[in-house]
Amino acid sequence: MKTIASFSQPVEAHMLRSRLEVEGITAYLRDENMIALDWLYSNALGGVKVDVADEDYERALDVMTSLGTSP
């Protein structure tokens, strides 16, 4: 698994995960629940991370580039 992006708010991570899944890329969120419990943990944990499988990493980067999002 590789982290493709991290976000300070869970909703932003969910939006990227949804877009990746539309493209056929399975994505997972890490640290979402901790940050949802207390948003102050976001800086300490490095935000909500969006992870993809190693073999999907390059495709996920392409999807992010097409959205105008940087990793």
Q: What domains lie within the chain, and their CATH numbers?
A: 2-67 (3.30.70)
For the stretch 20-71, pLDDT in tens is 999 999 999 999 989 888 888 888 889 999 999 999 999 999 999 888 766 6
Element (H, E) at 48: strand 48-52
* Burial per residue of 43-68, b for 16 or more beta-carbon CB atoms within 10 angstroms, e otherwise: eeeebbbbbbeeebbeebbebbeeee
Does the pTM of the predicted model rise above 0.75? Answer: yes
